[in-house]
A and B are shown apart, each in its own frame.
Chain A
Amino acid sequence: MNGEKVLVVGGGAGGLLVSNLLVGDGREVTLVTNNPEHYFQPANLFIAFKGESPESYKRSVESLLDPKVRLILDKLSKLDLGNRTALTERGKRLEYDYVIVAAGARMDYNSLPGMKENFEMFGDYYSSPEAAVKVWNTVSRMKNGKLIIGVPDLIIKCPPAPHKGVFLAAEFFKKEKRDVTVELLYPSPHIYTEAELAKTIESKMKSFSNIEYRTSFLIDSVDKDRKVVIGMNGEEIKYDALVLIPFHKGPEIDVNPAEARDDDGFIKVDKRKLNITSYDDAFAIGDCNNAPTSKTGVAAHLGAFVVWKRINGRNAEYSGRTNCPLITDDEAIFVISDYDHKPVGQRFSRLKRLMEDLFVAMYFPSLRYPRKFEPIFDVYFNATEPNILGEKGW
């Protein structure tokens, strides 16, 4: 088969899906990934605010891969797009007919003074399950005072995840009858980046007596000794515990040519075809690319299918579709948008919360057996397209 040698970089949601899909066509697929385990990132919230065990949300990469995929546990350090070669950290040289980079986003703690020390002290629920355990260690022991969840930057995975943390934390403190206030510091002028959804979220926040929030608050730095967050206008807010959402940057891979990456290291792609700009044998999917949409598992999932179809000569395109759940303990909404539609209006409902639980239950099997699960996802995505939900919302 022509173009049979495929190199996939990164064993996360996007990389596992695309590897399993392409190997099923009879191609020779090699996956290079630097973590032998794959964990379900949204579950960091359940670890951080419900004390759940990280083990339930982890699987070995090997168990999620079709055994025909050749797995290399190593970091990819160099990728030469012109010569179709790559080099791993341990010095393995690889050649390919097609490459798909799915290396996710890298968390950066150095763009804000005090963030690194704060991360070491309190952890967060973005970086890893272990960092989320750290959050739980703080939250579960807090008896009173203020927990701040600070969002310094908005180019982040699952944009409603900071809010999810606020709701889950507030619910925990309420249930435990603890005198702790949860405050969200948010940089945009509304409590969510889109004004209509912001109203829905805001009224839900107001129904909690222990949630506070500030909008247009631009975090400049953290002073851990005085326990204050300092805004860019000089304003200071006191905390007892602080969780900061880290900055997101592109993966640590030396890509040649360097122009294939943007200023933040994200890989530049055609936002619909997902090929790395000016190469038709190289793609980047999921959090590592610069497509102007949210960084979500759904983008990685849909991107994997687009690339699989395109490599097979079909004319698939990625619409920019997002589907980010914002959950409370018993209700949810989904932030649904695409390149041509801003997020559609939403109402909190219990049924959507149940749907989210179903997605969680389907997660690992759907990575391993993407062809089997696709009809279910197709039904859902087609029925909930932004132009179908339209003005009426959902």
Chain B
Amino acid sequence: MGDKKTVDARGMACPGPIAKLTRAYREAKNGDVIEILATDQGFIPDIKAWIESTGNKLIELKQDGGVIRAVIEVTAKK
């Protein structure tokens, strides 16, 4: 089991939550889990596109009230 980190990107519209995810991803290693909280609606298509193009794993993507919660597993680092 890797480490788990939560990234709070709520209230972040510009630059969006991907900016915070990028910082957390740099620190992470394969097997780690990153949870991202966001309120920017653009984050839903963005995280899907990010997962698709980077080849990491999306474990969960949910919206509860105004808050989007994505959980990813880091799998695509060399």
Residues in A lying within 8 Å of B, measured CB to CB: 111, 152-155, 159, 187-190, 193-195, 215-216, 218, 220, 232-234, 264, 271, 292-294, 320, 322, 335, 337-343
Contacts and interface: CB of A to CB of B under 8 A. Distances in A.
B42 A271 contact: no
B22 A195 contact: no
Contact of B13 (A111, A215, A234, A339): A339
Size bracket, chain B contacts? 20 to 34
A70 B9 CA distance: 39
Contact of B49 (A153, A159, A189): A189
B26 A153 contact: yes
Shortest beta-carbon contacts, A-B, top 6: A234-B78, A154-B19, A189-B49, A216-B53, A337-B14, A292-B12
Contact of A218 (B19, B40, B52, B54): B54
A233 B16 CA distance: 23
Interface of B: 9-16, 18-20, 22-23, 25-26, 40-42, 45-46, 49-50, 52-55, 76-78
B45 A188 contact: no
A195 B40 CA distance: 12
Contacts of B9: 292
Nearest to B9: A292
A194 B12 CA distance: 12
Nearest to A151: B22
A343 B54 contact: no
A153 B15 contact: no
Contact of A232 (B12, B45, B77): B77
A216 B22 CA distance: 10
Nearest to A231: B78
A274 B39 CA distance: 21
Contact of A322 (B14, B16, B20, B25): B14
Contact of A155 (B11, B15, B55): B15
Given A218-B54, A293-B14, A342-B13, A233 B78 contact: yes
A392 B49 CA distance: 26
B49 A190 contact: yes
Contact of A292 (B11, B41, B42, B45): B11
Nearest to A154: B19
